[in-house]
Protein backbone atom coordinates (compact mmCIF):
# COMPACT_ATOMS: atom_id res chain seq x y z
CA UNK A 1 0.00 0.00 0.00
CA UNK A 2 1.23 3.44 -0.92
CA UNK A 3 1.99 5.95 1.86
CA UNK A 4 2.21 9.59 0.77
CA UNK A 5 3.47 12.41 2.99
CA UNK A 6 3.49 15.45 0.74
CA UNK A 7 0.83 17.37 -1.16
CA UNK A 8 2.92 17.44 -4.34
CA UNK A 9 3.32 13.64 -4.37
CA UNK A 10 -0.39 13.32 -3.61
CA UNK A 11 -1.20 15.54 -6.60
CA UNK A 12 0.97 13.42 -8.93
CA UNK A 13 -0.61 10.18 -7.72
CA UNK A 14 -4.17 11.53 -8.08
CA UNK A 15 -3.42 13.03 -11.49
CA UNK A 16 -2.11 9.68 -12.69
CA UNK A 17 -5.20 7.87 -11.38
CA UNK A 18 -7.51 10.41 -13.00
CA UNK A 19 -5.59 10.20 -16.29
CA UNK A 20 -6.12 6.43 -16.20
CA UNK A 21 -9.87 7.01 -15.79
CA UNK A 22 -9.96 5.81 -12.17
CA UNK A 23 -12.55 7.10 -9.73
CA UNK A 24 -11.06 8.14 -6.38
CA UNK A 25 -12.76 7.93 -2.96
CA UNK A 26 -11.29 9.78 0.00
CA UNK A 27 -11.90 8.67 3.58
CA UNK A 28 -10.63 11.45 5.86
CA UNK A 29 -9.64 10.31 9.38
CA UNK A 30 -7.57 11.38 12.33
CA UNK A 31 -6.29 7.82 12.78
CA UNK A 32 -6.68 5.50 15.78
CA UNK A 33 -9.02 3.60 13.53
CA UNK A 34 -11.92 1.40 14.53
CA UNK A 35 -14.63 -0.60 12.77
CA UNK A 36 -16.58 2.61 12.08
CA UNK A 37 -13.70 3.95 9.96
CA UNK A 38 -13.26 0.59 8.22
CA UNK A 39 -16.94 0.58 7.28
CA UNK A 40 -16.41 4.00 5.63
CA UNK A 41 -13.46 2.58 3.65
CA UNK A 42 -15.56 -0.39 2.48
CA UNK A 43 -18.32 2.04 1.49
CA UNK A 44 -15.76 4.13 -0.41
CA UNK A 45 -14.61 1.08 -2.35
CA UNK A 46 -18.20 0.51 -3.53
CA UNK A 47 -18.23 4.02 -5.03
CA UNK A 48 -14.73 4.21 -6.53
CA UNK A 49 -11.81 2.27 -8.03
CA UNK A 50 -9.22 3.65 -5.63
CA UNK A 51 -9.65 4.35 -1.92
CA UNK A 52 -7.33 6.89 -0.32
CA UNK A 53 -7.43 7.19 3.48
CA UNK A 54 -6.05 10.33 5.06
CA UNK A 55 -4.62 10.23 8.57
CA UNK A 56 -4.06 13.69 9.99
CA UNK A 57 -4.71 14.85 13.54
CA UNK A 58 -5.74 18.36 12.61
CA UNK A 59 -4.55 20.83 15.25
CA UNK A 60 -6.81 23.68 14.18
CA UNK A 61 -10.04 21.82 14.94
CA UNK A 62 -9.07 21.44 18.61
CA UNK A 63 -9.81 24.35 20.93
CA UNK A 64 -7.60 25.53 23.78
CA UNK A 65 -7.52 22.92 26.58
CA UNK A 66 -8.91 20.17 24.30
CA UNK A 67 -7.18 16.84 23.68
CA UNK A 68 -4.96 17.56 20.62
CA UNK A 69 -1.73 16.49 22.37
CA UNK A 70 -3.32 13.42 23.97
CA UNK A 71 -5.42 12.38 20.97
CA UNK A 72 -4.76 8.62 20.65
CA UNK A 73 -2.39 7.62 17.86
CA UNK A 74 -1.24 4.15 16.68
CA UNK A 75 0.36 4.28 13.25
CA UNK A 76 1.31 0.58 12.87
CA UNK A 77 -2.12 -0.67 13.90
CA UNK A 78 -3.83 1.88 11.60
CA UNK A 79 -1.76 0.72 8.62
CA UNK A 80 -2.57 -2.93 9.33
CA UNK A 81 -6.29 -2.14 9.54
CA UNK A 82 -6.28 -0.06 6.34
CA UNK A 83 -4.45 -2.88 4.53
CA UNK A 84 -6.98 -5.39 5.86
CA UNK A 85 -9.82 -3.66 4.02
CA UNK A 86 -7.78 -3.30 0.83
CA UNK A 87 -7.53 0.50 0.64
CA UNK A 88 -4.94 1.65 -1.87
CA UNK A 89 -3.16 4.58 -0.32
CA UNK A 90 -2.66 6.51 2.91
CA UNK A 91 -2.12 10.24 2.79
CA UNK A 92 -0.49 11.23 6.06
CA UNK A 93 1.03 14.71 5.90
CA UNK A 94 2.86 16.34 8.82
CA UNK A 95 1.35 19.48 10.37
CA UNK A 96 4.01 21.65 8.66
CA UNK A 97 3.01 20.22 5.27
CA UNK A 98 -0.65 21.16 5.76
CA UNK A 99 -0.03 24.49 7.52
CA UNK A 100 3.35 25.79 6.42
CA UNK A 101 4.74 29.01 7.84
CA UNK A 102 2.66 31.97 6.68
CA UNK A 103 -0.54 29.91 6.34
CA UNK A 104 -3.52 32.21 6.94
CA UNK A 105 -6.65 30.99 5.15
CA UNK A 106 -9.77 29.65 6.88
CA UNK A 107 -12.88 28.12 5.35
CA UNK A 108 -15.95 28.88 7.43
CA UNK A 109 -19.59 27.80 7.04
CA UNK A 110 -21.67 30.50 8.65
CA UNK A 111 -24.88 29.20 10.18
CA UNK A 112 -25.12 25.44 10.59
CA UNK A 113 -21.74 25.39 12.35
CA UNK A 114 -23.09 27.47 15.20
CA UNK A 115 -25.63 25.25 17.00
CA UNK A 116 -24.96 21.89 18.75
CA UNK A 117 -21.18 21.27 18.99
CA UNK A 118 -20.53 24.78 17.65
CA UNK A 119 -21.87 26.22 20.91
CA UNK A 120 -19.19 24.80 23.16
CA UNK A 121 -16.53 24.38 20.43
CA UNK A 122 -16.83 27.73 18.60
CA UNK A 123 -13.74 27.30 16.41
CA UNK A 124 -14.07 23.56 15.78
CA UNK A 125 -15.97 23.53 12.49
CA UNK A 126 -13.79 26.21 10.91
CA UNK A 127 -10.90 23.85 11.61
CA UNK A 128 -12.77 20.92 10.10
CA UNK A 129 -13.92 22.73 6.95
CA UNK A 130 -10.49 24.24 6.41
CA UNK A 131 -8.72 20.88 6.62
CA UNK A 132 -11.35 19.06 4.58
CA UNK A 133 -11.14 21.72 1.84
CA UNK A 134 -7.35 21.26 1.86
CA UNK A 135 -7.70 17.45 1.75
CA UNK A 136 -10.08 17.76 -1.20
CA UNK A 137 -7.59 20.03 -2.96
CA UNK A 138 -4.68 17.71 -2.14
CA UNK A 139 -6.29 14.35 -2.92
CA UNK A 140 -8.62 15.49 -5.75
CA UNK A 141 -11.21 12.79 -4.96
CA UNK A 142 -14.41 12.19 -6.93
CA UNK A 143 -16.20 11.29 -3.70
CA UNK A 144 -15.52 11.42 0.03
CA UNK A 145 -17.06 9.39 2.84
CA UNK A 146 -18.02 10.84 6.24
CA UNK A 147 -19.68 9.04 9.16
CA UNK A 148 -23.16 9.99 10.36
CA UNK A 149 -21.99 9.83 13.99
CA UNK A 150 -20.59 13.32 13.39
CA UNK A 151 -23.92 14.41 11.97
CA UNK A 152 -23.26 18.14 12.19
CA UNK A 153 -19.82 17.70 10.62
CA UNK A 154 -21.43 15.80 7.73
CA UNK A 155 -24.01 18.57 7.18
CA UNK A 156 -21.40 21.33 7.44
CA UNK A 157 -19.18 19.57 4.89
CA UNK A 158 -22.13 19.01 2.54
CA UNK A 159 -22.93 22.73 2.81
CA UNK A 160 -19.33 23.77 2.16
CA UNK A 161 -19.06 21.43 -0.84
CA UNK A 162 -22.26 22.81 -2.34
CA UNK A 163 -21.54 26.45 -1.56
CA UNK A 164 -18.01 26.28 -3.01
CA UNK A 165 -19.08 24.23 -6.09
CA UNK A 166 -16.58 21.55 -5.14
CA UNK A 167 -16.88 18.61 -7.51
CA UNK A 168 -16.87 15.95 -4.77
CA UNK A 169 -19.82 13.66 -3.94
CA UNK A 170 -20.30 13.44 -0.19
CA UNK A 171 -21.27 9.91 0.86
CA UNK A 172 -22.70 9.44 4.36
CA UNK A 173 -21.78 6.26 6.25
CA UNK A 174 -24.14 4.87 8.93
CA UNK A 175 -23.13 4.95 12.62
CA UNK A 176 -21.38 1.77 13.72
CA UNK A 177 -22.09 0.77 17.33
CA UNK A 178 -20.37 -1.43 19.86
CA UNK A 179 -22.38 -4.42 21.09
CA UNK A 180 -23.62 -2.38 24.06
CA UNK A 181 -24.94 0.34 21.74
CA UNK A 182 -22.19 2.94 22.26
CA UNK A 183 -21.32 4.66 18.99
CA UNK A 184 -17.76 3.77 17.97
CA UNK A 185 -15.31 6.59 18.52
CA UNK A 186 -11.56 6.86 18.95
CA UNK A 187 -12.31 8.77 22.16
CA UNK A 188 -14.11 5.77 23.76
CA UNK A 189 -10.62 4.67 24.74
CA UNK A 190 -10.57 7.47 27.37
CA UNK A 191 -13.51 5.90 29.28
CA UNK A 192 -13.01 4.08 32.58
CA UNK A 193 -15.06 0.86 32.94
CA UNK A 194 -17.61 2.73 35.11
CA UNK A 195 -17.89 5.60 32.62
CA UNK A 196 -18.22 3.10 29.80
CA UNK A 197 -21.21 1.47 31.54
CA UNK A 198 -22.78 4.87 32.22
CA UNK A 199 -22.20 5.96 28.61
CA UNK A 200 -24.64 3.32 27.40
CA UNK A 201 -27.38 5.71 28.52
CA UNK A 202 -26.60 7.95 25.50
CA UNK A 203 -27.64 5.52 22.79
CA UNK A 204 -30.36 4.04 24.99
CA UNK A 205 -31.98 7.45 25.45
CA UNK A 206 -31.81 8.06 21.68
CA UNK A 207 -33.39 4.69 20.87
CA UNK A 208 -36.10 5.42 23.43
CA UNK A 209 -36.73 8.81 21.83
CA UNK A 210 -37.18 7.14 18.46
CA UNK A 211 -39.69 4.73 20.00
CA UNK A 212 -41.55 7.64 21.62
CA UNK A 213 -41.83 9.36 18.23
CA UNK A 214 -43.02 6.12 16.64
CA UNK A 215 -45.67 5.98 19.39
CA UNK A 216 -46.86 9.49 18.54
CA UNK A 217 -44.83 11.89 20.71
CA UNK A 218 -44.16 15.14 18.83
CA UNK A 219 -42.98 17.46 21.62
CA UNK A 220 -39.19 17.84 21.41
CA UNK A 221 -39.11 19.09 25.00
CA UNK A 222 -40.56 15.78 26.25
CA UNK A 223 -37.90 13.79 24.38
CA UNK A 224 -35.13 16.04 25.66
CA UNK A 225 -36.37 15.79 29.25
CA UNK A 226 -36.59 12.01 29.01
CA UNK A 227 -33.01 11.75 27.70
CA UNK A 228 -31.76 14.23 30.32
CA UNK A 229 -33.32 12.16 33.13
CA UNK A 230 -31.94 8.94 31.66
CA UNK A 231 -28.38 10.26 31.37
CA UNK A 232 -28.26 12.17 34.67
CA UNK A 233 -29.56 9.04 36.47
CA UNK A 234 -26.14 7.52 35.70
CA UNK A 235 -24.42 10.29 37.66
CA UNK A 236 -21.09 10.23 35.82
CA UNK A 237 -21.93 12.15 32.67
CA UNK A 238 -21.94 15.92 32.33
CA UNK A 239 -24.40 16.95 29.62
CA UNK A 240 -23.10 19.52 27.14
CA UNK A 241 -26.32 19.54 25.09
CA UNK A 242 -29.30 17.43 24.12
CA UNK A 243 -31.25 18.93 21.24
CA UNK A 244 -33.78 18.13 18.58
CA UNK A 245 -33.12 19.97 15.31
CA UNK A 246 -34.37 20.11 11.78
CA UNK A 247 -32.06 17.91 9.66
CA UNK A 248 -31.76 20.60 6.98
CA UNK A 249 -30.95 23.69 9.02
CA UNK A 250 -29.78 22.15 12.31
CA UNK A 251 -31.88 24.78 14.06
CA UNK A 252 -33.73 23.70 17.22
CA UNK A 253 -37.28 22.50 16.77
CA UNK A 254 -39.92 22.40 19.47
CA UNK A 255 -42.37 20.23 17.57
CA UNK A 256 -41.31 17.29 15.41
CA UNK A 257 -43.04 17.95 12.11
CA UNK A 258 -40.52 16.85 9.50
CA UNK A 259 -37.37 14.78 9.56
CA UNK A 260 -35.42 15.81 12.64
CA UNK A 261 -32.22 14.81 14.35
CA UNK A 262 -31.88 14.30 18.07
CA UNK A 263 -28.25 14.97 18.92
CA UNK A 264 -26.35 15.02 22.17
CA UNK A 265 -22.90 15.59 23.61
CA UNK A 266 -21.97 14.36 27.07
CA UNK A 267 -18.65 14.54 28.89
CA UNK A 268 -17.37 11.58 30.88
CA UNK A 269 -14.11 12.69 32.47
CA UNK A 270 -11.77 13.47 29.59
CA UNK A 271 -14.05 11.95 26.96
CA UNK A 272 -16.61 14.15 25.24
CA UNK A 273 -18.94 11.73 23.45
CA UNK A 274 -21.45 12.64 20.78
CA UNK A 275 -24.28 10.60 19.33
CA UNK A 276 -27.48 11.18 17.38
CA UNK A 277 -30.51 9.58 15.83
CA UNK A 278 -32.73 10.70 12.97
CA UNK A 279 -36.39 10.95 13.98
CA UNK A 280 -39.05 10.62 11.35
CA UNK A 281 -42.59 11.47 12.38
CA UNK A 282 -44.03 9.82 9.25
What are the residue numbers of the active site?
37
Written as one string, the DSSP assignment of the chain is -EEE-SHHHHHHHHHHHHHTT--EEEEEE-SS--HHHHHHHHHHHHH-SEEEEEE---GGGSPTTSSTTT----HHHHHHHHHHTT--EEE---HHHHS-TT--------STTTSTHHHH-TTHHHHHHHHHHHHHHHH--SEEEEEGGGHHHHHHHHHHHHHTT---EEEEE---B-TTSPBP-GGGGG--HHHHHHTHHHHHHHHHHHHHHHTT--BHHHHHHHHHHHHHTTSS-EEEEEEEEETTT--B-SB--S-EEEEEEEEETTEEEEEEEEE---
Among 78, 150, 195, 275, contact with ligand PAF (rule: CB under 6 A): 150
Q: Per rule CB under 6 A, is residue 128 in the interface with ligand PAF?
A: yes
Q: Per rule CB under 6 A, is residue 212 in the interface with ligand PAF?
A: no
| Contacting range for ligand PAF; rule: CB under 6 A; set: 27-35, 169-177, 203-211, 257-265 | 27-35
Q: Whose Cβ is closer to ligand PAF: residue 3's or residue 255's?
A: 3
Tell me the residue nearest to ligand PAF as measured from the CB. Answer: 28
Please report how close the Cβ of residue 61 comes to ligand PAF at its closest, in angstroms: 6
Q: Whose Cβ is closer to ligand PAF: residue 98's or residue 223's?
A: 98
Q: Whose Cβ is closer to ligand PAF: residue 29's or residue 39's?
A: 29
Q: Per rule CB under 6 A, is residue 173 in the interface with ligand PAF?
A: no
Among 43, 89, 131, 143, contact with ligand PAF (rule: CB under 6 A): 131
| Contacting range for ligand PAF; rule: CB under 6 A; set: 10-18, 41-49, 127-135, 249-257 | 127-135
Q: Per rule CB under 6 A, is residue 260 in the interface with ligand PAF?
A: no
Please report how close the Cβ of residue 72 comes to ligand PAF at its closest, in angstroms: 12
Name the β-bridge partners of 217.
Answer: none
Q: Per rule CB under 6 A, is residue 39 in the interface with ligand PAF?
A: no
Q: Per rule CB under 6 A, is residue 276 in the interface with ligand PAF?
A: no
Q: Which residues bind ligand PAF (CB under 6 A)?
A: 28-30, 58, 61, 128, 131-132, 150, 153
Amino acid sequence: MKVIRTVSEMHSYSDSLRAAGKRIALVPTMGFLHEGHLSLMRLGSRHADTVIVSIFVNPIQFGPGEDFEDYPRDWDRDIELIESVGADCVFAPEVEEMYPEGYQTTVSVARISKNLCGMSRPTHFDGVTTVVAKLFAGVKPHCAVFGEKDFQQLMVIKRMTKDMNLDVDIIPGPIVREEDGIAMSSRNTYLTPEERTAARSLSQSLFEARKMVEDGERDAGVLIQHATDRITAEDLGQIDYIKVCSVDTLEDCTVIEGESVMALAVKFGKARLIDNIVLNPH
